[in-house]
Amino acid sequence: MASIKIRAKAKDGVTTVKTLMSHPMETGLRKDSKTGKKIPAHHITEVTAEHNGNTVMTANWGGAISKNPYLSFKFKGAASGDKIKITWVDNMGKGDSAEAAIK
């Protein structure tokens, strides 16, 4: 199952990118209701966006971001048909990436 959904649309020279990432985003502060033990921190630490191999956005995140985070941003210089690639890495060394064509 892909952990990233991407929609990107170019209009008047500006591309709007909308992403939805599936991730538990645990802060490390919550307790398991059954065991009473703290749930270990597990959250995305960095999200990057690349257009034609060039980084157009980098976000450094911490535990305060909600579960299954949504991210939207805009950038200039892309055209319809170009590719946008979103990559995330979490504090446990895991990650994922996905690519989509700009409409």
Q: What are the structural domain ranges in the chain? A: 4-101
Task: Provide block-wise average pLDDT over 10 residues at a time, the chain (103 residues).
Answer: 90 97 94 94 97 96 94 96 97 96 97
Measuring CA to CA, which residue among 33, 26, 93, 75 is closest to residue 85?
A: 75
**pLDDT at residue 36, rounded to an integer:** 93
CATH superfamily of 4-101: Immunoglobulins (2.60.40.10)
23-50 pLDDT, tens digit per residue, is 999 999 999 999 999 999 999 999 999 9
What is the model's pLDDT at position 1?
52
Say what the pTM is: 0.91
pLDDT of residue 79: 94
